[in-house]
Structure 1
Amino acid sequence: MKVSIIGAGRVGVSIAFSLLHKEIVDEMVIIDKNFQRAEGEALDLYHSTPMFKRSNIYAGDFEKMKGSDFVVITAGASQNPGETRLDLTKRNAGIIKSIAREISKYARNSIIINVTNPVDVLTYILWKETGISHERVIGSGTILDTSRFRSLVSRQCRVSPTSIHAYIIGEHGDSELMVWSSATIGGVNIKEFCKRCTIRSCTPLENLFVETKNAAYTIIEKKGATNLAIGAVTATFIESMYKDEKRVWTPSILIDDLYIGFPAIVGRNGVERIVNIQLDEQEKELFEKSKSIIKKYLTEVIG
């Protein structure tokens, strides 16, 4: 399998290193506007391959994307002092458009995964600019948010995260929402599970959701950036597609002419079908609000 990663920053390298642990990659290209940095990261990664799987890892230009099974985009500008989120979005939209032109030339048959924020807005732009089918242009969406929440519940409830089926959907941002109505632990509604639990002094589930939603802010304040969890999550997402596991994830996918985080079955050819989970009336209202925020940004960025 061949993977091209655009962006040799902390997120891109974390994804690359996590992929090595999966032992599924035969060839990996690191692409960055700073070619010297890309070379350094590629060499550092290559030196670790005797511990994992023999892989050819190197820095390259966009033409080296040819033949990639997956192209992962992590490139983007950081927010400057005094810059608004909309200003940053407009700058990153320009970067995504330029990357889209290169993908259109060299990687039209690849599955494209965008991780750059704001992920929902930029994945939509990527889809429009490349003209690649929406099933194969996917954003990381709320996959990490869902993973974060499950990890917090797992620690508190002393149960494996694989037995927790709870989804965070919507914008990967402040308007995301927890689907409480269908969240379960071992097949039991999550709130009913907590009512019957014998563990005392628990943090309320709603507080765990707030902690999840604010996790990126907390991590950035303490260490400057989030990179390890998104690296592991993206690598596992790629692995599940490559192995055609038909696993349910919450990527940013096309719904009602916008990209937004929602449960979907994903396989070797990308998004196969949406999982139509039932939302209660309040959740429907919150989801529509989240969609409206993404629409507003799209209007302001691309008209």
Structure 2
Amino acid sequence: MRRDCVGSVQLNLQVLFSGVDVPEGYKFRDLAIEELQKVSRVYTDMEVKSETYTFSDSLQKDLLKLVGNIPIRYHGHSYNLPILLWLLDSFPFTPPICFLRPTSSMVIREEMIAKFEEEPPLGTRSSAHGDSPNDLLAYVSNLKVNEGVNRPDQEVKVSVIGGGDLGIATVLSIMAKSSVDKLVLIDIPESSTKGGTMDLEIFSLPKVEVSKDLSASAGSKVVVVTANAWSDEQSYLSVVQTNVDMYRGIIPHLAQLSPKAVLLIASQPVDIMTHVAWRQSNLLPTQVIGVGCNLDSERLSHIINISLVANNTGKQAWVIGELSENKVAVWGNMGPGTDQLQALSPVSNSTKPLMDRALEMLKGRGQRSWSVGLSISGITHSIITDQRKIHSVTTLAEGWGGIGSKVFLSLPCILGESGSTRLPGVALGSEDEMKVRESVACQVNLFMQLKM
């Protein structure tokens, strides 16, 4: 920010916050201030406060909160909804925690309940109705994302970092599935997964460039990192630390060369390494994702719809959480007459036997290089074509389902050219909730031992 703008921002901040101090730890402080100023211009009665928020995992943080009324138009009438928004310290790149704030004078009229049963409120209507606020928000978002970035003459370039089996499988899968103008495979010397690039150099595939220089990745739309650096003799902590040290030498450089790219992490452990890549790259959290449970989610839905039910019901199952024994499954509820996912729902008592059987069948499927490569190509295709398709990928989970820590877990996200947009959380059953909490605690503990 220029020096002559600082005083103006500070003055506006004082007016907007009415003496409330912005808590320490807000990563995108200037951008958060800018967004809050926009809110204050539209909703002048919105009040900003700083208070302590307690997450469902008992973690407490000093956060900003917005309190006020939002006017909603419904059937020709205007309704003022009292709301409370808690802004996480990664705002505006993680959604706020939203609550309705009932007042003593609020009542629910019986006739309104009857009307809602006949026709659902705007916030719950499917996109088939064509006038959902979500459609408008998505449309406006697309206008911002697509402005100046979809020129026909712009090169679609993807780079893959790591020349091992997974790197080669990723290159071949992307070339088979996606229409890219250029694909660069970079075999870095620091990686223990290397040596597979010679055959690609010998047979010289069209549009594929093989290099050992990171600068060859400049201007990429997607940068896939498959490299790992470890040996079998190392302990788990030292294995992860070795990968962290390798990332320190490549991730900042990759981010500088392609500042608008989506960084797709496939190194192991993917949840930790995606977190490391986000911190080292200084990119937005929406730009850094991991392959996570995407492959397991695709397999699980296929098993349920083809192997068990014997016909394609269109029911979507998602594997979320940590890529470990603690991963859990949830259902995706599809809107009527549309293929758009409306919400997530936990596994109920009636569907648990089906899900348990499907998960048991899933255990026999390995994470082979070619299968992971196919999964990576699907994610990459959704990004470079701005497909807005939902994948279960590793993303910043702070605020999702009451998680207060900065950890990365697999969650269903909409993927496009600008990166990922996380879907809202879901209330899990006690057993699944315990698995997610255990994953969060383990990640926090491991991260405290790493030297970034």
Is 1:279 the counterpart of 2:416? The answer is: no
Instruction: Check the 8 A contact 1:143/1:249 in 2, yes or no.
Output: yes
The structure that is strand-richer by fraction is 2
Structure with the higher fraction of residues in helix conformation: 1
Alignment partner, residue 32 of structure 1: 187
The corresponding residue for 2:86 is none
The residue number in structure 2 matching 1:21 is 176
Does 2:105 correspond to 1:105?
A: no
Tell me how far apart the structure 2 counterparts of residues 227 and 98 of structure 1 sit (CA, whole Å): 25
Greater RCO (Cα-Cα under 8 Å, separation 6 or more): 1
SS at match of 1:102: helix
Question: Deviation of residue 33 (structure 1)?
Answer: 2.6
SS in 2 for 1:167: strand
**Matched residues in 2 for 1:159 and 1:20: separation?**
31
1:223-242 deviation line (CA, Å, top 9, x unaligned)? xxx11111111101111111
Q: Describe the superposition over 1:260-303 as per-residue Cα deviations: whole angstroms up to 9, x where unpaired.
A: 111111111101x2211423332333322222222222122248
TM-score, L = length of structure 2: 0.56
Tell me, which stretches of 5 or more residues in structure 2 are unaligned? 1-155, 337-344, 399-405
Deviations along 1:121-156, one digit per CA (max 9) or x if unpaired, are 111111111101111111111111212222332323
The whole-number CA distance in structure 1 between the counterparts of 2:449 and 2:356 is 32
SS of alignment partner, residue 3 of structure 1: strand
Residue number in structure 1 paired with 2:223: 71
- Tell me what 1:222 maps to: none
Change beyond 3 A, Cα 1:186–1:165? farther
Code of the aligned partner of 2:387:
E
SS state of the match for residue 409, structure 2?
strand
Amino acid at match of 2:263: I
| Partner residue, 2:157 | 2
TM, length-normalised to structure 1: 0.81
Q: CA RMSD in A?
A: 3.0
For 1:59, the equivalent position in structure 2 comes to 211
**Offset at residue 110 of structure 1 (A):** 1.5
Q: Offset at 1:95? A: 1.4
Cα contact 1:251–1:264 (8 A) shared by 2? yes
Cα deviation for residue 60 of structure 1 reads 4.0
Shift of 1:31: 0.8
1:88 to 203, 225, 239: 239
- Aligned residue in 1 for 2:145: none
Residue of structure 1 aligned with 2:309, choices 154, 157, 173: 157
Q: Which residue of 1 aligns with 2:373?
A: 231
Q: Which amino acid aligns with 1:239?
A: H
Partners of 2:248 and 2:292 lie apart in 1 by 19
Distance change in 2, residues 1:78/1:207 (3 Å):
farther
The equivalent position to 1:174 in structure 2, one of 325, 337, 341, is: 325
103-112 or 65-74: which moved more?
Answer: 103-112
2 CA distance for matches of 1:190 and 1:284? 12
Q: State the identity as a percent.
A: 20
On the 8 A contact 1:4/1:28 being kept in 2, the answer is yes
Say which one has the larger Rg: 2
